[in-house]
Amino acid sequence: MTATTLAVWKFTSCDGCQLSLLDCEDELLTLADRVTIAHFLEASSAVAPGPYDVSLVEGSVTTEDEKRRIAEIRNQSRILVAIGACATHGGIQALRNFADVTEFTSLVYASPEHISTLAASTPISAHVTVDFELRGCPIDRHQLLNTLSAFLSGRKPDIPTTSVCAECKRRGTTCITVADGIPCLGPVTQAGCGAICPAYHRGCYGCFGPMSNPDVPALLPVLRRCGMPPGEVDRVFATFAVSEPAFAERGGGDSRQQRTQS
C-alpha cells in the first residue's frame, strides 16, 4: 500500500500547533508505515516535492508572500486542513484588522520601512478552499490524530460542534459560573478542548471560536452579573476569534476602538 504523503506548513503564527503534532511522536510511530512526512520544517530540513495527499497549514495570512504561497500549497494538496486559531480565524494578530497597521509598525520596529505586511490578518479560508478545520490555541492533539486517522481510513473526521458546556457535562465538571460566579465563555464556544479550563476552575476564554449559532447576547448579562465590566466583556471576546462575526460584534465595542486609538 502506498503511504500517504503529509506536508505541514507555517504561516504567521507561534508554532504551537506544529508542536502539538510533534508531541504525538508515540502515536505517529504507529502510522509510520502509512504516512510519509514530505514537508515539515519544524521537524526536519528534508523536503520532498509535491503533490501532497494531506497538507496541514498553521498560521494566518498576513503578507503578500503568504497569499502567493497558500495558493501554491492549495494547488499541490489533495486535502488541505487549517489547524489552530490563527489558520481558522486569523488569530490574535487579527486585532490589527481594527487598527492602523502603519502606526503599529512605527511604534514596534526601529526601521518600519523594511516591514512588508498586509493591513489585515485573515484565516486560510479567506484565500483558498479549506477541506477541514481544527480549532484551538493550540489544537487538541487527540482531534489531530482523529483527523489524520480518518483521512487514512477514508472517512469523515468525528469533530464535535457542540459547546464547551457539553464537554463539562460529559466529564462531570460542575458549572463554575453557576456554582462560583466565574465568568466563562463555554456556553458559546465550540467544544474540542475537553473543557480543560473549567476543569481547573478557570473560565473558558474562547480559543476554539464560536460554536454553531452561539447565543452571545444571552451570555452577556451573565458575564456582567459575574463581575465583568463592559470593557472587559469586549476584551474577552476580542482574542483568538475576533474576526468571527459572532464574537467580533461583541469584541468590537467602543472600548476596543478606544484602545486602538490610545
pLDDT along the chain (262 residues), means of 10: 90 94 83 89 93 97 97 98 97 89 88 90 97 96 92 90 96 96 97 96 96 93 94 91 85 42 36
**Of how many residues is the chain composed?**
262
Q: pTM here? A: 0.89
Tell me what pLDDT residue 26 has. Answer: 82
Farthest-apart Cα atoms in the chain, separation:
60
Cis peptide upstream of residue 138 (ω within 30 degrees of 0): yes
Domains of the chain: 4-153 (3.40.50.700), 164-261 (no CATH)
pLDDT of residue 258: 38
* The pLDDT of residue 107: 87
Task: Please give the pLDDT value at position 257.
Answer: 42
CA 262 and chain centroid, separation: 28
CA–CA distances in Å: residue 94 to residues 183, 213, 245, 249, 250? 24, 22, 13, 14, 15
